[in-house]
């Protein structure tokens, strides 16, 4: 029996005032495929259909979701159908009045990113002076009674700040801090050489996390998203392809995860043309890798196939050029050497020698698209 | 947020960040919270519905015993609530509303 989805990530727009070089959005976000954003009515229908299909958790993301002038309306509509809503935002230019309006509309939880523990580095990584807006928004979030998650994407340039970041989240009264080691998709894959940490950095970061967890107990939940290039086995990406999760992109394409749009061998359906239920059950993108009938060796006969589901299809496509093979991160994959090579290349270089990144910005997006 | 084990006089309530809700598609109650959910059986949902910030653990147990015609459930109720409190989904107060949790 086909499972029912629990999670919907609504990428409301790919416009964003920040330019983080690890952004998971598509490299070609500024192109025509994503520009024709869904209307308020479209999104309200998507929320109703999602709830009827079994979705309980809604992430309102982007790009920067605050750039949608109808965000309050969308939150009210999702609240009315009973979705538990998280706003995933940079908080750039957010005001307390708007946050209060979102609270009244029924928003449940706020997740605000920060790029580093100090202003200079945070602004440098974001490519936009946004640190002070974030600190103000953290305080308002707590004052208004929202549960707060502080989200930090970790990489070579900020992994040394793990302790400072945890202390910052603690001082803000956050419920959770998500320390998300960079997953290499979208802009992060393009900027991989500049972002990839060393093994020593990761070991130290993990050691600090364990120390701080012991100190803080249940006062602050510290989530450590594994750096999968440095693991032996792949992550159970999305809990398995098309098992519990779907992403609706700004112009209405529906993907089994927020990186899947890059897989050129899949056909994606659009909510403008199909009901969400049909897309979940019958569209090419959702049915292609659901279950385990698609699996080649070494997955097919592997006892771990019910644990990690063959890993990540997007990673297989990006690294091995074929979305239908074992995740190259797996030590049993015939493509593992491609991951080892990428990791080894970084190990020899000092932090200061790491490559330059390309910021996630519309002109860079168009230039990269033109280059192919 | 280290919650002490609840005793008979503890007044539990569902934490502000969590929401008890009926899941029509799967025909069960769920407790929703940031980035997660707990699926509940009927008894679990009944216990949480009684966690209204006025009833004590003993009071909740008495209600359940009356409803189901059973006895001696107080320890089970306390254990269930303690497990949710460990995840920050239930908070404990004393009668009169003074919370024991920061």
| Residue A276 near residue A44, CB atoms below 8 Å | no
CA A282 → CA A12, A242, A287, A288, A324, distances in Å?
Answer: 24, 11, 6, 10, 19
Residues 123-182 of chain A with CB under 8 A from chain B are 145, 147, 149, 175-176
The ranges assigned to domains in chain B are 11-94
Closest-CA residue in chain B for A87? B34
SS3 per residue for A29-56: CCCHHHHCCCCHHHHHHHHHHHHHHCCC
Residues 69-108 of chain A with CB under 8 A from chain B are 82, 84, 86, 108
| List of chain B residues whose C-beta atoms are within 8 Å of the C-beta of residue A175 | 17, 34, 88
DSSP H helices, A54-161, are 71-81, 96-105, 119-126, 131-143
Best mutation target among B1, B3, B34 (most A Cβ atoms within 10 Å) is B34
Residue A206, both tokens: 């993990």
Query: Which of helix, strand or coil describes residue A249?
Result: coil
Q: What is the rounded distance in angstroms from the CA atom of residue A38 to the CA atom of residue A41?
A: 8
Work out the number of other CB atoms within 10 angstroms of the CB of residue A102: 24
Work out the number of other CB atoms within 10 angstroms of the CB of residue A136: 14
| List of chain B residues whose C-beta atoms are within 8 Å of the C-beta of residue A218 | 1-3, 86-88
Tell me how many residue pairs between chain A and chain B have CB atoms under 8 A apart: 57
A372 in contact with B, Cβ within 8 Å? no
Beta strands (DSSP E) in A183-332 are: 221-225, 245-248, 254-255
What pLDDT does A181 receive?
98
Superfamily of domain B11-94: Coenzyme PQQ synthesis protein D (PqqD) (1.10.10.1150)
| List of chain A residues whose C-beta atoms are within 8 Å of the C-beta of residue B16 | 145, 147
What pLDDT does B101 receive?
44
Q: What angle do CA B14, B33, B17 make, to 5 degrees?
A: 50
Q: Taking CB atoms and an 8 Å limit, are A218 and B32 in contact across chains?
A: no
Residues 6+ positions from A309 with CB-CB distance below 8 Å: A236, A237, A239, A240, A241, A243, A292
pLDDT reading at B12 higher than 80 = yes
Best mutation target among A83, A84, A176, A179 (most B Cβ atoms within 10 Å) is A84
- Select the residue of A145, A149, A218 nearest B2 (Cβ to Cβ): A218
| Residue A166 near residue A217, CB atoms below 8 Å | no
| Residue A349 near residue A361, CB atoms below 8 Å | no
pLDDT reading at B96 higher than 60 = no
A109 in contact with B, Cβ within 8 Å? yes
Best mutation target among B5, B16, B22, B25 (most A Cβ atoms within 10 Å) is B25
Q: What is the rounded distance in angstroms from the CA atom of residue B35 to the CA atom of residue A59?
A: 9
What pLDDT does B95 receive?
61
B99 in contact with A, Cβ within 8 Å? no
- Tens of pLDDT, residue by residue over A30-69, are 999 999 999 999 999 999 999 999 999 999 999 999 999 9
Q: What is the rounded distance in angstroms from the CA atom of residue A148 to the CA atom of residue A344?
A: 37
Q: Phi-psi bin for A202: left (phi > 0), alpha (psi -120 to 50), beta?
A: alpha
What pLDDT does B3 receive?
57
Best mutation target among A48, A56, A148 (most B Cβ atoms within 10 Å) is A56
> Does the model's pTM come out above 0.80?
yes
| Residue A13 near residue A248, CB atoms below 8 Å | no
Query: Which of helix, strand or coil describes residue A118?
Result: coil
At which residue do the structure tokens 């270089």 appear? A349
What pLDDT does A218 receive?
84
Work out the number of other CB atoms within 10 angstroms of the CB of residue A36: 11
Nearest-Cα distance to chain A for B66, in Å, is 31
Work out the number of other CB atoms within 10 angstroms of the CB of residue A127: 17
| List of chain A residues whose C-beta atoms are within 8 Å of the C-beta of residue B32 | 56-57, 84, 108
Nearest-Cα distance to chain A for B62, in Å, is 30
| List of chain B residues whose C-beta atoms are within 8 Å of the C-beta of residue A84 | 19, 21, 32-33, 37
B4 in contact with A, Cβ within 8 Å? no
Burial class for B97, CB neighbours closer than 10 Å (0-12, 13-18, 19+):
exposed
Closest-CA residue in chain A for B1? A219
What pLDDT does B100 receive?
45
Q: What's the gap between Cα A107 and its chain centre? A: 20
Q: Taking CB atoms and an 8 Å limit, are A218 and B88 in contact across chains?
A: yes
Nearest-Cα distance to chain A for B65, in Å, is 31
| List of chain B residues whose C-beta atoms are within 8 Å of the C-beta of residue A57 | 32, 35-37
| List of chain B residues whose C-beta atoms are within 8 Å of the C-beta of residue A78 | none
- Select the residue of A53, A82, A149 nearest B34 (Cβ to Cβ): A149
Q: Which of A83, A136, A141, A139 is nearest to A110 (CA)?
A: A141
Averaged over successive runs of 10 residues, the pLDDT of chain A (372 residues) comes to 93 98 97 95 98 98 98 98 98 98 98 98 98 98 97 97 98 96 97 95 98 94 94 94 97 97 97 98 97 96 95 96 97 96 85 82 95 79
Nearest-Cα distance to chain A for B17, in Å, is 6
Q: What is the rounded distance in angstroms from the CA atom of residue B36 to the CA atom of residue B15?
A: 14
């Amino acid at each position: 029996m086909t499972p029912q989805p629990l999670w919907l990530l609504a990428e409301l727009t790919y416009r964003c005032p920040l330019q983080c070089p690890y952004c998971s959005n598509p490299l070609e976000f500024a192109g025509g495929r994503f520009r024709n954003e869904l209307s308020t009515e479209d999104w309200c229908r998507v929320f109703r259909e999602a709830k009827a299909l079994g979705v309980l958790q809604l992430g309102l993301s982007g790009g920067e979701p605050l750039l949608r002038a109808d965000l309050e309306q969308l939150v009210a509509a999702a609240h009315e159908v009973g979705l538990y809503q998280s706003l995933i935002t940079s908080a750039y230019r957010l005001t307390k009045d708007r946050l209060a309006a979102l609270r009244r509309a029924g928003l449940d939880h706020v997740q605000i990113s920060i790029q580093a523990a100090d202003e200079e580095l945070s602004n440098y990584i974001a490519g936009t002076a946004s640190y002070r807006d974030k600190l103000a928004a953290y305080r308002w979030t707590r004052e208004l009674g929202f549960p707060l998650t502080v989200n930090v994407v970790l990489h070579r340039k900020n992994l040394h700040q793990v302790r400072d970041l945890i202390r910052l989240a603690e001082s803000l009264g956050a419920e959770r801090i998500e320390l998300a080691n960079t997953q290499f998709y979208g802009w992060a894959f393009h900027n991989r050489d500049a972002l990839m940490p060393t093994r020593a950095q990761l070991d130290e970061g993990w050691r600090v996390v364990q120390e701080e967890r012991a100190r803080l107990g249940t006062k602050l939940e510290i989530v450590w998203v594994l750096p999968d290039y440095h693991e032996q086995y792949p992550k159970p990406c999305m809990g398995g392809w098309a098992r519990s999760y779907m992403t609706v992109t700004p112009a209405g394409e529906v993907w089994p995860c927020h990186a899947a749009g890059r897989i050129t061998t899949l056909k994606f359906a659009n909510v403008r043309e199909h009901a969400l239920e049909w897309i979940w059950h019958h569209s090419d993108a959702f049915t292609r890798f659901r279950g385990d009938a698609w699996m080649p060796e070494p997955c097919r006969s592997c006892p771990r196939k019910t644990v990690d589901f063959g890993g990540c299809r997007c990673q297989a496509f990006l690294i091995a050029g074929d979305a239908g093979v074992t995740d190259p991160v797996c030590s049993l994959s015939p493509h593992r050497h491609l991951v080892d090579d990428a990791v080894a290349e970084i190990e020899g270089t000092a932090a200061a020698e790491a490559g330059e990144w390309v910021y996630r910005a519309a002109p860079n997006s168009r230039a990269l698209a033109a280059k192919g | 947020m280290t919650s002490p084990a609840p005793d008979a006089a503890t007044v539990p309530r569902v934490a502000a960040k969590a929401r008890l809700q009926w899941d029509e598609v799967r025909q069960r109650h769920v407790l929703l919270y940031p980035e997660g959910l707990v699926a509940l059986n009927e008894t679990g949902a009944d216990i949480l519905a009684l966690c209204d910030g006025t009833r004590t653990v003993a009071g909740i147990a008495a209600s359940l015993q009356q409803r189901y015609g059973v006895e001696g459930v107080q320890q089970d109720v306390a254990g269930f609530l303690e497990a949710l409190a460990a995840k920050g989904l239930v908070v404990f107060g004393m009668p009169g509303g003074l919370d024991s949790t920061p």
